[in-house]
Amino acid sequence: MSEIDDKLNEKLRQQMDGLFDEDEEHRFRLIAKSYAMCENSIAVLSNLRTDKSYIYYGRTSNVLGFEPAGSYEKIDSIWEEKILCRIHPDDQRRRNLQELAYNHFVIASHTDNAFDWYMENTMRMADKSGKYLNTLHRIFYFQGKGQRGVSYAICLFNLAVKTSKVAVMKNTLTGEERQIDIDEKQLLSEREITIIKLVSQGLSSKIIASKLDISKNTVDRHRQNIINKMQASNMTEACHKAKQLLLVVD
């Protein structure tokens, strides 16, 4: 996976009171497996609370040169690096920004209706020989029991006739479609950009709070929001991604 894609992750990682519902995960695993069987997809289920993923290989996998159709594997990450690293470098930043915008829409909506939407975009993905093939990517977010945020994600990869730079969100209940307009200024606020720059200079939350004349708790809250928006596991990774995506310029 490229540095830009350095694990597009807000480890949204919700903890559901410290408990993990194995039956719930099993149900989502069956859903991902069904997509692989019925749509010939490469289907990836990511459990954001445990930082684990399950990849189910449909017949699309045979064309792209991954694992044989019908097989599956478990990985210790919510990012399917072996798949994402095949995306054409010129498509990486656009794809990442589109996914961040979709993620921001879901977590900022504060309503369960946001989970009625999924995102669809396209990109070029290399097969085993290095030939780039047009690929359709869809991502669905799900809540876990007792959760307000995102607990699971299912990503589907299929071949496509053509690619487009446009990404859309589709409502599975109403059929409504919305184009994802990437407003990079809305992904991070001016205050968040300021804090990223100060963190990158090695300043602690206490020093940043004094410098900006705000409380340390406010700084910590901004830091967590940045981690969430950048789909990162920690502040260092969040700062790195923001700079790679050119959301922050030194």
Query: Span 211-232, mean pLDDT?
Result: 90
Q: Give me the phi and psi of 6, to 5 degrees please.
A: -40, 45
d(CA 184, CA 241): 13
Tens-digit pLDDT profile for residues 157-209: 999 999 999 999 999 999 999 999 877 767 888 899 999 999 999 999 999 99
Position 67 pLDDT exceeds 60: yes
Arithmetic mean of pLDDT, 99-108: 89
pLDDT tens, residue by residue, 117-144: 999 999 999 999 999 999 999 999 999 8
How many Å apart are CA 206 and CA 193, to the nearest integer? 17
Domains along the chain? 16-179 (3.30.450.20), 187-244 (1.10.10.10)
Q: What is the pLDDT of residues 39-61, one digit of tens each?
A: 999 999 999 888 899 999 999 99
User: What integer best gives the mean pLDDT of the chain?
Assistant: 88
